[in-house]
Amino acid sequence: MTSYMARTAKYFLTIKAARELKKEIEQAGLDNLIILADAGKSIVGTYLNGCSP
């Protein structure tokens, strides 16, 4: 029974850590967009330049 409880706890902690990491990554992305907008850079133009061959 202890082994099952340990595996379950580890599983839930892994999910929690993944969610927190996802939030941090999303926040970093939003921060980068805000920096570009404040600098007067076109976000769409930057995206299209990155997609052009």
Q: Is 17 exposed, middle or buried (0-12, 13-18, 19+ CB in 10 A)?
A: exposed
4 belongs to a structural domain: no
Q: Is 14 a member of any domain?
A: no
Residue 44 has pLDDT above 70, yes or no: yes
Q: Domain total for the chain? A: 1
Task: Name the residue range of residue 52's domain.
Answer: 21-53
* 49 falls within a domain: yes
Question: Which pTM does this prediction carry?
Answer: 0.53
Q: In this structure, is residue 32 part of a structural domain?
A: yes
Radius of gyration over alpha carbons of the chain, in Å? 20
Q: 1-43, pLDDT tens digit by residue?
A: 579 888 898 888 888 888 888 888 788 888 887 787 788 777 7
* pLDDT greater at residue 40 or residue 47: 40
Q: In this model, does residue 48 exceed pLDDT 80?
A: no
* 43: in domain: yes
pLDDT of residue 1: 58
The token pair at 47 is 């995206």
Q: What is the DSSP string of 2-51?
A: HHHHHHHHHHHHHHHHHHHHHHHHHHHHHHHHHHHHHTT--HHHHHHHHH
pLDDT above 70 for 53 = no
